[in-house]
Each structure stands twice: as structure tokens, then as C-alpha cells.
Amino acid sequence: MLSGCGSFQVNPPLARYDPSSGYRFEKLEPGSNSDKLFVILVFSGGGTRAAALSYGVLEALRDTQIEWKNRKISLLDEVDVISSISGGSFPAAYYALYGLRIFDEFPNRFLYRSIQSELIDSALTPAGLLKLGGSTFGRSDLAAEFYDREVFGAGTYAEVIARARRPFVILNATDMTTGTQFPFTQDQFDLLCSDLSGISLGRAAAASSAYPGGLTPLTFKNYAGKCGYRQPEWVDLAVQDHKSRLNIRRAARAENRLSYTATDLNPRKYIHLTDGGVADNIGLREPLAAITSLNNSWSVLRLINQKKVDKLVVIVVNAGTNPTTRRDQRPEVPGLVDTLTAAAVVPLGNYSFDTLELLRQTVNEFNESMRLVSGCKELAASKGPRCELDIPVPHQIEFFPIEVAFEYIQAVDERNWFKNLPTTLELPRETVDKLRKVGQQILSEDPEFKRLMEVLHGCIPFAGQGC
């Protein structure tokens, strides 16, 4: 009977849809942050390994001094957006909630702790066992309670909204039914007629890191149709693209949004979220959509078209590994667990590489279009006033794609050591410190990061040595 009390934490309904309130990019004060230099951080999954590597990059950006708009500031001050999944969501969420306090508190509250062992211990307590006996309460619900209590101090999105400061931090989970990314933003929760401000950072991080098998999906209630929500105009237009095939990606995004708001045919009363890495193992898909589409809620392309962005910096912290396997040393048929693991992990690695290449290709094509239009206008003008072309020239931007990944470690033995670290929520203290240091080192050695520092007259600190 007591186990029947175990139930998931219900997300609050949204009384009335209001596109001018809630956790949205345009509602955050830029402060001294300038859109001209637009910086996006992307934190991948990988348990404590990913959290430590991402935290090391945050430390490096804090210590990196640049000269921008006649001011000497930290590069971290110019970060506009952080997109994260799974293990990378823990430092991202902590920074969103507490800002610079992360550098005093996060290592001891998360990185240096045996989080995984503590989660198991909490599940084996009488209270934990009773809760887990409930049909609507899973291991991730227990993990969310632990994160609230032990890591995030029960902080909610209401506190993040009250801070009203950039960066805009997007924790990404995966919708288990559609297989698409589910970002923790008010624009996404508008679809559910739910109020993101009442959701804790611990529960959002738990959803983003609900590793399939080890942790259960998290359940969120869908109140669609009860808050007066109206889909953006582009959604209705995109649905008409199916037959024409003019913009298949836009049509797919529209159908995904409509899947939450359908109230007549097969309504989705509950949404089940699992690890963000299932849809995107490095967390880059959401920023890529913002860079390539005007239909995104925080469209970077719109800012570029408005000539508000001159320099676009995307720093991807990719904690992906490639552990050594004995599979290829033996003739035996691989077992079920080995096969399922390979089927889940190997395609994601290839998908992550393709996403990075797509980002580079997108920006290159954008600048190439600018050069073509400019060339056509110059050629036409050279033929006389009557031939001049009255067409707008796309705004050219400088693009700095930066990746922090173990693949770029020069020494073979060291590279293999990092690429064989496990994906767990606990690592030895010395391993955590090595990850922090190597993240700073790889960032400082990245050719695009060096080019950025030359352009911004910045200096590159390393290992706490300062500038």
C-alpha cells in the first residue's frame, strides 16, 4: 500500500500562454554581452567524464582575457548560449542557476563525489525501495530527488528566470516516442501548456541524463489545449510542405510540434523523456537549427540577417570515447548486451561527426552566397547604372568552429587512456583533475581558437598560469 504513494513529480500547468514571459532567449538581459560576438558552447554526454571536461573548458574561458569593444573582458562573459545533454548538463545547469559560484562549489558538489554509488545507496533505503514499487515512479525520479537535494539545492527555473542573465542554457532530453530532441525551454513547454518555472534543475538534468537501461525515462504531464496556446504561423505553412517536398526538415519540425498539441486524434496525455544523447550525442542539433532556420525560437540566422552578429563562435566539448574492445580478438558471436550497446553507441558517434561537418558546411555556404551576390552586383554595376541590381547582400560573418575532443591529443598513450574512460557518474579525483586540465589544453591548442585570440587580441592561459 505504501508503494502506491510512489509517483512522479508532476510538472505545473500553464495558466495562460504568454509568449512574452518565461525562460526565453529574448527575455535574458545581455548585460555587457554583445551580439556582435556570438558565442555558443555545446556540452556532450559522457557522465562525470563529460561534466569534468566541460567544467575545465568553462575554467579556461573564465581565465581567457580578450579585448572587445574597447574593453578587456573574460571570454566567458561573452557566452550567449549553452546547449547540453546528459553528463554535460550538470555543469550547464549549475552555471545557469548559480553563475560564477560554479567555480567555488561544483567540484565538491558533483565532480569529486561518488554520485553513482550514492544513487544506488538511496535506491536501497527503505524509503527508496517503497517509492520504486510505484508504477509511475522510476529510478530517474529517485535520481532527480537526489540531484535536487545534494547538487542543485532544490533550485528551479523560476530562479534562473529571476537572474535574467545570459547565457541561455538549454538542457536537452529525448522524447522517447518521437525520438526527437526535447529542450528545456519555455517555448517547448508551451506546447504542453506547462510552466517551466516550476520545474527543478535537478529534474531537468535527470531527464537529460536518463541513460537507457541504467536509468528510467521521466514522465511529464501534457496539458495541451488548456492555456490558449497558438502555434507559430510557420507551422501551418510547413505542414503543407509534405506533398511539395520543398522543405522536408521544416515539415518534420512542424509535425513534431503538432504531436504535442493534438487534442482529438490520439492525444499524448504524458510525455516520457530519456537521455538527450539518444537524439544527439553532442548537443549540437539545437544550435544548428538556430543557425540555419528563422523558425527557431532563438534564431541566430535572424540575428545574422539583421546584421547583429559579426563573429560566430561555436565551441563543442565532445567527451566521446572509443574504448578498446576484445570483440575483434575472438571468433565467438557477440552477445546480446554487446550487440545492443554497439548498435546504440557506434551510429551516434558517426552522427556526431556528421553534425559537426554540417555546421561547417552551413556557414561556408552562407558566406559563399554573400560573395556570389556581391560579385553579381559589382559585375552588373560595372556595365552601367541601368544594369545595377537592387538586391540585398547577405551579411558576412566570421565563423570559428572549435572542438575540444580526446581525438586531438597528440600522445598516443595519453589519447587512448582518455578514450577508454568509462561513462559513469563517479571517477577518481585525480582523473577528474586530468580531465579538467586536458580540456583546457585541447582548447588552447585548437587552431580556430588561436585564430580567434589573434582577432580579439586575447591571450591563452593554460593550467592556471594566467596570461
Where b means 16+ CB within 10 Å and e means fewer, 104-127 reads eebbebbbbbebbeebeebbeeee
Q: Which of 236, 338, 354, 374 is catalytic?
A: 236
Q: Is the peptide bond before 91 cis (omega within 30 degrees of 0)?
A: no
Q: Which residues contact 108 (CB under 8 A, 6 or more apart)?
A: none
86 is catalytic: yes
**Phi, psi (rounded to 5 degrees) for 33:** -70, 135
User: Pairing relation of β-strands 79-85 and 37-43?
Assistant: parallel
- In angstroms, what CA-CA distances link 258 with 185, 225, 267, 288? 17, 12, 10, 21
Please pick, among 54, 83, 86, 259, the residue that the annotation labels catalytic.
Answer: 86
C-alpha grid cell, residue 333: 558471436
CA 368 – CA 90 distance, rounded (Å):
38
Which residues touch 446 (CB under 8 Å, ≥6 apart)? 402, 403, 404, 408
Rg (CA), the chain: 23
Cα(318)–Cα(249) distance, integer angstroms: 25
Bridge-based pairing of strands 79-85 and 270-274 is unpaired
Q: Decide if 3 is catalytic.
A: no
269 Rama sector, left if φ>0, alpha if ψ -120 to 50, beta otherwise: alpha
In degrees rounded to 5, what are phi and psi of residue 72?
Answer: -100, 115
Q: Which residues have a catalytic role annotated?
A: 86, 236
